[in-house]
Copies of this chain bind each other. A is one copy, B any other.
Amino acid sequence: MIRKIPFPIIVLSLCFSIAAKAQQIKEMAPGVTRVTVGEVDRFSPYNLLKEKPKTEAMSKLPESGVGVDPKEIRVELNARGAIVHIPLGNKEEIYGFGLQMGSFRQRGLKRRPIVNDNPLNDLGFTHAPTTFYLSTKGYGIFINTSRYTTFYCGTHKQVKDNVNENTGAGVAAQSVEDLYKNTNNKSGEVIVDIPGAKGGDVFIFNGPTLKNALQRYNLFSGGGAMPAMWGLGLQYRMKGDSKQEDVYKMATYFRDNHIPVDVFGLEPKWQSAAYSCSFVWNPDNFPAPQELIDRMKAQGIKLNLWEHAYTSPASPIYGALASASGDYKVWNGLVPDFAGTVAPKIFADYHKQTFVNNGIASFKLDECDNSNLTRGSAVWAFPELSQFPSGIDGEQMHQQFGTLYFQTMYSNYKAANKRSYFSIRSLNGFASSFPTTLYSDTYVHSEYIRMISNAGFSGLLWSPEVRESANVKELCRRAQTSILAAETVFDSWYLKSPPWLQFDRAKNNKGEMLPNAKEIEGRIRTLLNFRMSFIPYLYTAFAKYNSEGVPPFRALVVDYPEDKAVYDVWDEYMIGDNVLAAPLADSASSRKVYLPKGNWYDYNTKKIYAGEQSYTIETRLDQIPVFIKEGTILPMAKPVEHIEPDTKFEITCYVYGSQPTGGELFEDDGVTFNFEKGSYSTIGLSWQNGKGKANRKGNFKMSRYIVKNWVKI
């Protein structure tokens, strides 16, 4: 006899069966373990990952111990959602959670990696909400969800643990700040709160070191990004209301004055409608776009177009997109459902035919983060309650919108075997392979520096754009930081002339140039020439990012996890394996620099410093604040004004110390994906008996690096 079970009891038993569901443990790639309990969301970061893991490179990494035993990861499921508990040892420090602005060392904090355009007050909100963290114990944890997730990083105790805490504050406190001081940093868990989830899905990236775990994460994501080589040169963005003639004049200005530039960016008004976007050239300002593209090309300047995805009724694709978009508008425009299949095709095809095929080199993808979650009155984004034809909800769409938008737009370049370098305002996890920098409307210099370090923990690249400044000193310091970053951008979207001719916004737009404009221009030229000299080294670091997963820009703790003195050092970072950058914020004349193990050379003064100590270092406005590790052979190019596939670099190798361990250069065409099929060379640099040697290996057809000089420091 079959007994009839009333409905509520069935539901109850279902809930219980979810809660009691068994843990599944699966090996995903060498050193990557996945722990799953319950249902995995359809729109999880892993499900949206389109790249294949570089398993071969992963298998070459040192065999890892176990940073976290998968069986010690505990998932609770209840009516509210999923709760994941991950062990945290007393001596571990943790880093990550995407493009964090306000904090670096994350233990003891509540972190909410939720996408936001203006991440104030250090809540964990960010342009790039990566649910990934790394531990100094040598492992990484990725929570595979696109939902709004909260990480309690050793902040909370359960009653059952019955551990007496140092409550820290207490009755002796005589101020509000004292009362609420955070001292609860001894808890033995990271607790992850995922409301709405029906499962917990955790990827463990093993070490043995923090760096190895990070490498595995980047390789699992498809390997680090490989930008077009020209992308490492200067991008200069024109004022928002510029016309075609203004662009021509600006190109002439740059070339006449020998200021290097590779890319010009055009702002909203290149379109016939923007906010929302038409994706159609504005005939008043740009009557002859193809002429523009071609004339710029002739001067060695690529064009980057600003846009966002919210599609105006004035756009030719509005009609086709209408049924493949979310149910709420943004700025009266459609929100394309990039999580489906229809909208990406319409959107990409249109862009291919209209722009990519005609020579537009890259895009700046704006507003793909969520509008301000930390201020009350600026609401422009689609609400979290939005629904999309693909089935994704507004919350998960927000978290993934940048990633999906990038994938849609970059697919055209991949299909055409063209590389590029985008700018974008949001990305999620597993985005290491995306050749794009992130940028922000915020403008606190110290936070801009911190984001360089933090981006490296999450497979992200950050661009600390230079806009206006309060004085010449700040302008130069900001330029230095931008030159020591993944992309060097002067974003003059509200400045008529370059800021080095007039840093003050009002005066700049009135045409009142600085009395000593030419002198400042000279300093900026010197700084930009450093960047152009540095590109071969930087490009080689990117190649290592691609093939081995080592981020070209990374916090000191990645390379020196055993040195506790670097745990809080967010304002210095490694570029490649041999260069330590220590940018000066605001209008500083000097700063404290901590140097890790070994000896280091001030690049400017050539003075040598012993490591594991701090120094106060002065850096001139026309110098670049970097330190070179003893043993380095640093290849620096004679600066060129822009980079083409046939550009040859005249290299001088600087040899630091008496027993250099060598150096390397990576060589390919810089613009196609042919390197993936083996069309590249490496140039090994070595120094013996007072003589340098460059040893070229590989099968790229042309020698791009001419090693001319060797200089012993």
Measured CB to CB, the residues of A under 8 A from B are: 2, 4, 7, 10-11, 14, 78-81, 83, 102-103, 108-111, 120-124, 150, 152, 155-160, 164-165, 167, 169-176, 179-182, 184, 191, 193, 195-196, 240-241, 268-269, 271, 273-276, 313, 322, 325-329, 331-332, 334, 371-380, 382-385, 387, 393, 395, 441, 494
Query: How far is B377's CA from A108's CA once the two chains are assembled, in angstroms?
Result: 8
Could you tell me the distance in whole angstroms from the C-beta of A431 to the nearest C-beta in chain B?
23
Identify the 4 closest CB pairs spanning chains A and B, nearest first.
Answer: A122-B376, A193-B385, A170-B275, A171-B268
Query: How far is B375's CA from A123's CA once the two chains are assembled, in angstroms?
Result: 6
- CB pair A329–B157 under 8 Å, yes or no, is yes
List the B side residues contacting A332 at CB < 8 Å: 157, 164-165, 167
Query: How far is B170's CA from A275's CA once the two chains are assembled, in angstroms?
Result: 5
- CB pair A378–B180 under 8 Å, yes or no, is yes
Name 15 interchain pairs, CB-CB below 8 A, sorted by A: A2-B2, A11-B14, A81-B196, A103-B377, A109-B377, A122-B377, A123-B375, A155-B379, A159-B326, A159-B327, A169-B275, A171-B269, A171-B271, A193-B385, A195-B196
List the B side residues contacting A81 at CB < 8 Å: 196, 385
Residue from A4, A123, A171, A273 with most neighbouring chain B CB atoms (10 Å)? A171
**A122 with B375: in contact, given A174-B494, A334-B159, A383-B152 (CB under 8 Å)?**
yes
List the B side residues contacting A377 at CB < 8 Å: 103, 108-109, 122, 182
Could you tell me the distance in whole angstroms from the C-beta of A245 to the nearest C-beta in chain B?
18
Given contacts A156-B328, A157-B328, A171-B241, 5 further A-B contacts (CB under 8 A): A2-B2, A2-B4, A79-B393, A164-B313, A184-B380
List the B side residues contacting A325 at CB < 8 Å: 159
- CB pair A196–B159 under 8 Å, yes or no, is no
List the B side residues contacting A103 at CB < 8 Å: 376-377
**A191 with B158: in contact, given A122-B375, A332-B167, A376-B110 (CB under 8 Å)?**
no
List the B side residues contacting A331 at CB < 8 Å: 165, 167, 169-170
**A376 with B102: in contact, given A328-B159, A332-B167 (CB under 8 Å)?**
yes
Query: How far is B160's CA from A268's CA once the two chains are assembled, in angstroms?
Result: 27
- CB pair A379–B169 under 8 Å, yes or no, is no
Could you tell me the distance in whole angstroms from the C-beta of A116 to the nearest C-beta in chain B?
12
User: Which residue of B has the minimal Cβ distance to A120?
Assistant: B121
List the B side residues contacting A374 at CB < 8 Å: 121, 123, 374
**A80 with B193: in contact, given A157-B328, A240-B171, A332-B167 (CB under 8 Å)?**
no
List the B side residues contacting A173 at CB < 8 Å: 240, 275
List the B side residues contacting A326 at CB < 8 Å: 159
Among B10, B160, B274, the residue within 8 A (CB) of A170 is B274
List the B side residues contacting A165 at CB < 8 Å: 329, 331-332
Number of copies: 2
List the B side residues contacting A313 at CB < 8 Å: 164
Among B156, B159, B191, B376, the residue within 8 A (CB) of A109 is B376
Query: How far is B175's CA from A240's CA once the two chains are assembled, in angstroms?
Result: 10
List the B side residues contacting A179 at CB < 8 Å: 275
Could you tell me the distance in whole angstroms from the C-beta of A384 to the nearest C-beta in chain B?
6
List the B side residues contacting A327 at CB < 8 Å: 158-160
Query: How far is B283's CA from A674's CA once the two chains are assembled, in angstroms?
Result: 80
**A376 with B124: in contact, given A169-B275, A383-B150 (CB under 8 Å)?**
yes
List the B side residues contacting A171 at CB < 8 Å: 240-241, 268-269, 271, 273-275
List the B side residues contacting A108 at CB < 8 Å: 377
Could you tell me the distance in whole angstroms from the C-beta of A316 to the nearest C-beta in chain B?
18
Query: How far is B374's CA from A2's CA once the two chains are assembled, in angstroms?
Result: 55
List the B side residues contacting A271 at CB < 8 Å: 171
- CB pair B80–A393 under 8 Å, yes or no, is yes
Query: How far is B160's CA from A184's CA once the two chains are assembled, in angstroms?
Result: 50
Residue from A123, A174, A379 with most neighbouring chain B CB atoms (10 Å)? A379
- CB pair B180–A383 under 8 Å, yes or no, is no
- CB pair A159–B322 under 8 Å, yes or no, is yes
Could you tell me the distance in whole angstroms from the C-beta of A136 to the nearest C-beta in chain B?
20
List the B side residues contacting A274 at CB < 8 Å: 170-171
- CB pair B385–A275 under 8 Å, yes or no, is no
- CB pair B124–A193 under 8 Å, yes or no, is no
Query: How far is B326's CA from A331's CA once the two chains are assembled, in angstroms?
Result: 44
User: Which residue of B has the minimal Cβ distance to A148?
Assistant: B195
Could you tell me the distance in whole angstroms from the C-beta of A226 to the nearest C-beta in chain B?
32
User: Which residue of B has the minimal Cβ distance to A441?
Assistant: B176
List the B side residues contacting A376 at CB < 8 Å: 102-103, 109-111, 121-124
Among B102, B110, B385, the residue within 8 A (CB) of A80 is B385
- CB pair B379–A184 under 8 Å, yes or no, is yes
Among B276, B373, B387, the residue within 8 A (CB) of A78 is B387
Residue from A110, A240, A373 with most neighbouring chain B CB atoms (10 Å)? A110
List the B side residues contacting A268 at CB < 8 Å: 170-171
List the B side residues contacting A328 at CB < 8 Å: 156-159
Query: How far is B376's CA from A122's CA once the two chains are assembled, in angstroms?
Result: 4
User: Which residue of B has the minimal Cβ distance to A84?
Assistant: B385
Query: How far is B322's CA from A182's CA once the two chains are assembled, in angstroms?
Result: 24
User: Which residue of B has the minimal Cβ distance to A331?
Assistant: B167
Query: How far is B331's CA from A107's CA once the two chains are assembled, in angstroms?
Result: 18
Query: How far is B313's CA from A157's CA once the two chains are assembled, in angstroms?
Result: 14
User: Which residue of B has the minimal Cβ distance to A155?
Assistant: B379
Could you tell me the distance in whole angstroms from the C-beta of A157 to the nearest C-beta in chain B?
5
Residue from A158, A332, A393 with most neighbouring chain B CB atoms (10 Å)? A332
Could you tell me the distance in whole angstroms from the C-beta of A609 to the nearest C-beta in chain B?
33
Query: How far is B394's CA from A110's CA once the two chains are assembled, in angstroms?
Result: 16
- CB pair B383–A191 under 8 Å, yes or no, is yes
Residue from A111, A123, A377 with most neighbouring chain B CB atoms (10 Å)? A377
- CB pair B2–A152 under 8 Å, yes or no, is no
List the B side residues contacting A241 at CB < 8 Å: 171-172, 174
Query: How far is B353's CA from A593's CA once the two chains are assembled, in angstroms?
Result: 62
Could you tell me the distance in whole angstroms from the C-beta of A474 to the nearest C-beta in chain B?
18
